[in-house]
Structure 1
Amino acid sequence: MNDEIFGLINGLAGRIGPLDLLMVFAAKYLIFLLFAAGAVVLYLRARQDGWWPVGAWRIGQVGATLAIALVLSQVVRLFHLSLRPFQTHQVHMLIPHDPGVSLPSDHATASFALAVSVWFFVSAKWGPYFMGVAALVAISRVFVGVHYPADITAGALLSTIGGLAVWGATLLWQDRFLRRYTPQWDEDQLVDERALESTV
């Protein structure tokens, strides 16, 4: 089924010029725009919540999700489960790429790890949009002939595992971290703060 789905997607390459251009752009450059957008959303959320400790905690969650997903990706690559499609099949190859291990896709892993972490930890509003762009990055890698569908599926799965691992760590340690580093208000300060909030 992996080969069949690859054939369906990659078989569209070379037929419609504008679609080829879009997919080449997505395969090569869209990941950079995705990470730039992620930095903007994270910056705005950190400004809203305060840089310390909540903003720093969110940045740590995103970074940890990316790190776990990419480490898992490198571990899986050690098993050499799959070569690039163009090494074993006749494909429509729209971008040059070195031969090597294909599973999992680093582009898919990084893109989905960012999208999952934004959705889980930064913005439920923007998370689905990030997931959509990550999916486009992943599919474009199949379209241009450098990855199989299984490669991008594995990247998405590893990213989800990374996000869930950080989610579990959050449940265990977030309250302890925030209580430790959030300034303690005395009773008079707390009364003044609530009075100020009631006037806003």
Structure 2
Amino acid sequence: MTISEINIHFFRMINDLGKEYSTFNPVMIFIAEYMVVFLALAVIIYWLTRNKINRMMVLCAMVTFIMAELFGKLAGMIHSNNQPFAELTNVNKLIEKAVDNSFPSDHTMLFFSFCVSFWLFKRVWGFLWLVLATLVGVSRIWVGVHYPADVLVGATISVIIAIIVYKVVPKISIIHKFIGMIEKGDQFVLSALSKQKETKSKDV
């Protein structure tokens, strides 16, 4: 079997599960489409905790994703393919998606960039983020919008970059200065709000 045939074979294996076990389709659709909202909320919550480690983690995740997207674009210039539903017959397509180059998977790179970064900083419970990223990758195949190779390459790019960023970025002094500036800004805002509340209470 050629690489292309193997790619299609594993796509069929996963995508056809949606036909055989259709009761799981709503769950897979939710993971594939809307889990990104949960990730965004998690990022906001981590940032608003005003914990220096959490903020370093979020910054590393953001840098990882930006770099992963750049490398992903380069990979997409070397190889390209449309979504499976646009190239194959009898695909179990469960969500709407415009036809374009689906290699590598942007969704997978987003989740692996953030989730692997979270895992590197929070090893105890971080594996749950890895599980989530994997589920998102599988769900994109399940709903018919990506091949396994799209997901695998996207995940590989993000994992490699996340590890490099984790080892390099926290050692850069300007990053620490930037976080320090943000913390001073937080303190200024909180102090101003506190004074405003005190003024209002005295007026009453």
- TM normalised by structure 1 equals 0.76
User: What is the rounded CA distance, in whole Å, between the counterparts of 1:177 and 1:93 in structure 2?
Assistant: 43
Q: Which runs of 5+ in 2 are unaligned?
A: 1-5, 181-204
Once the two structures are superposed, what CA deviation does each residue of 1:43-86 show, in whole Å capped at 9, x if it has no partner?
A: 43x43x4xxxx565443222211211122112212234322111
User: What is the rounded CA distance, in whole Å, between the counterparts of 2:178 and 2:32 in structure 1?
Assistant: 43
CA distance change for structure 1 residues 129 and 42 in 2, over 3 Å: closer, same or farther?
Answer: farther
CA distance change for structure 1 residues 3 and 165 in 2, over 3 Å: closer, same or farther?
Answer: same
User: What is the rounded CA distance, in whole Å, between the counterparts of 1:161 and 1:87 in structure 2?
Assistant: 30
Instruction: Measure how far apart 1:179 and its partner are.
Output: 9.1
Instruction: Measure how far apart 1:177 and its partner are.
Output: 6.1
Q: Does 1:95 align with 2:100?
A: no
Instruction: Measure how far apart 1:172 and its partner are.
Output: 4.8
Secondary structure of 1:92's counterpart equals coil
Q: Does 1:168 align with 2:167?
A: yes
- The residue that corresponds to 1:128 in the other structure is 127
Alignment of 1:185-196 (within 5 A): none
- The residue that corresponds to 1:27 in the other structure is 32
Which 10-residue stretch deviates more, 100-109 or 15-24? 15-24
CA distance change for structure 1 residues 145 and 179 in 2, over 3 Å: closer, same or farther?
Answer: closer
Checking the alignment, whether the CA contact within 8 Å between 1:118 and 1:126 is kept in structure 2 is no
- The residue that corresponds to 1:12 in the other structure is 17
Once the two structures are superposed, what CA deviation does each residue of 1:12-45 show, in whole Å capped at 9, x if it has no partner?
A: 113334301111111111122123223323443x
Q: Does 1:147 align with 2:149?
A: no
Secondary structure of 1:78's counterpart equals helix
Alignment of 1:176-191 (within 5 A): 178=176
Sequence identity of aligned pairs in percent? 28
Q: Does 1:156 align with 2:129?
A: no
Deviating above 6 A after TM superposition, structure 1's stretches of 4 or more consecutive aligned residues are 179-182
Aligned-residue RMSD, C-alpha: 2.5
Secondary structure of 1:111's counterpart equals helix
Secondary structure of 1:14's counterpart equals helix
Instruction: Measure how far apart 1:161 and its partner are.
Output: 2.0
Amino acid at match of 1:149: P
- The residue that corresponds to 1:195 in the other structure is none
